[in-house]
């Protein structure tokens, strides 16, 4: 449970958010034309890689490549306090640990813990279960390094959210201990995208295309049916899960599937807080590293305190 009561969500989006929202349709149009293979995939990966190359280490801290990923430490970070395992996004086909190292550090700093961002094999080159197996291996690796499960927090962005829900399912099935807390930012949950398509028909997402999400989800699943227990996240057993915080933008087509996951967790006896941020687009906390976005700063601050109070 969170140990603080302050609600950080504003009643209305900031002026900077309104300006960013006006630019969002360009992103959606680009997604609608994009394909998870061939030249389109190569261009997307090159764009993400160029962005990642400009992401600095956290102020007063460090970021370095380690075996199987990146280790990011903010000011005063100490492994004795635990660690944040951060699963990056990128629709399963792009993205990288370096691209999200500042975001992960922002969530980890209040707890004074380092963040480990594992590399995982991406689709379509390596379809399921490659990425899921890599994330499970990363968690096992932290246990093997001596981190008690009660000092491991797991965080994720976008497609990393689906991998995180899958990780919790895998931990249950393998008998491994669960982490202390889970933070999901704009997570993809229902890989079939039925709820995303239905919501988009009623309230069009200005930023993300459900068609694009469905295409990338399908190449991630590969030959595995989406009804497989490791992929059917909305029907997974959440009994005994640690506290979960979900932060999502109010314009996202993923809202209904996120709400369904939160309801399932609570109905099965767990704690899940779902924060819906008005006027925000997919993965809005990432914008805090590039522009002055009050909602991004506030969301990261709240999430960081959630991480810090997890026991």
Q: What are 142-188's pLDDT values in tens digits? A: 999 999 999 999 999 999 999 999 999 999 999 999 999 999 999 99
119 φ/ψ angles, rounded to the nearest 5 degrees: -80, 140
Q: 249-280 pLDDT, tens per residue?
A: 999 999 999 999 999 999 999 999 999 999 99
Q: How distant, in Å, are the alpha carbons of 71, 129, 134, 269, 270 from that of 236?
A: 30, 17, 20, 14, 13
Average pLDDT over residues 107-114: 96
Average pLDDT over residues 208-220: 97
Residue 291: its pLDDT value, please?
75
Q: Is the pLDDT of residue 2 over 70?
A: no
Residue 3: its pLDDT value, please?
47
Angle formed by the axes of helices 210-221 and 194-202, nearest 10°: 180
Structure tokens of 132?
């899921």
| Residue whose entry in the numeric block shows the structure tokens 């490659």 | 130
Model pTM score:
0.96
Annotated active-site positions, please?
A: 158, 252, 282
In this structure, are strands 69-73 and 115-118 parallel, antiparallel, or unpaired?
antiparallel
Q: Is the pLDDT of residue 65 over 50?
A: yes
The 3-state secondary structure of the chain, one letter per residue: CCCCCCCCCCCCCCHHHHHHHHHHHHHHHHHHHCCCCHHHHHHHHHHHHHHHHCCCCCCCCEEEEECCEEEEECCCCCHHHCEEEEECCCCCCCCCCHHHHHHHHHHHHHHCCCEEEECCCCCCCCCCCHHHHHHHHHHHHHHHCCCCHHHEEEEEECHHHHHHHHHHHHHHHHCCCCCCEEEEECCCCCCCCHHHHHHHHHCCCCCCCHHHHHHHHHHHHCCCCCCCCCCCHHHCCCCCCCCEEEEEECCCCCHHHHHHHHHHHHHCCCCEEEEEECCCCCCHHHHHHCCCCHHHHHHHHHHHHHHHHCC
Question: Distance between CA 16 and CA 155 in Å, rounded?
Answer: 26
217 Cβ contact partners less than 8 Å away, ≥ 6 residues apart: 92, 188, 191, 192, 193, 226
Question: Distance between CA 109 and CA 87 in Å, rounded?
Answer: 17
């Amino acid at each position: 449970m969170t140990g603080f009561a302050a609600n950080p969500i504003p009643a209305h989006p900031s002026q900077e958010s309104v300006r960013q929202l006006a630019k969002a349709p360009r992103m959606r149009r680009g997604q609608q034309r994009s394909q998870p293979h061939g030249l389109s995939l190569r261009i997307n990966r090159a764009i993400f890689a160029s962005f990642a190359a400009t992401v600095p280490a956290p102020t007063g801290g460090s970021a370095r490549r380690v075996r199987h990923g990146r280790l990011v430490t903010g000011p005063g970070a100490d492994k004795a306090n635990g660690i944040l395992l951060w699963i990056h996004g990128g629709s399963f086909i792009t993205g990288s640990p370096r691209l999200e190292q500042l975001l992960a550090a922002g969530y980890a700093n209040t707890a004074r813990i380092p963040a480990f961002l594992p590399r995982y094999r991406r689709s379509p080159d390596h379809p399921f279960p490659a990425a899921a197996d890599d994330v499970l291996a990363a968690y096992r690796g932290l246990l093997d390094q001596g981190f008690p499960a009660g000092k491991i927090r797991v965080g994720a962005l976008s497609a990393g959210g689906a991998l995180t829900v899958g990780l919790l399912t895998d931990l249950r099935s393998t008998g491994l201990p669960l982490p202390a807390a889970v933070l999901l930012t704009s997570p993809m949950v229902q890989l079939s995208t039925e709820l995303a398509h239905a919501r988009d028909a009623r309230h069009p997402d200005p930023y993300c295309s459900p068609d694009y999400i469905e295409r990338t989800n399908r190449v991630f699943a590969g030959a595995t049916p989406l009804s497989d227990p490791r992929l059917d996240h909305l029907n997974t057993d959440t009994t005994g899960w640690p506290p979960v915080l979900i932060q999502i933008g109010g314009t996202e087509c993923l809202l209904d599937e996120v709400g369904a996951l939160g309801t399932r967790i609570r109905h099965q006896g767990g704690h899940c807080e779902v924060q819906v941020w008005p006027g925000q687009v997919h993965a809005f906390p990432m914008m805090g590293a590039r522009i002055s976005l009050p909602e991004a700063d506030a969301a990261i601050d709240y999430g960081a305190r959630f991480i810090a109070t997890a026991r």
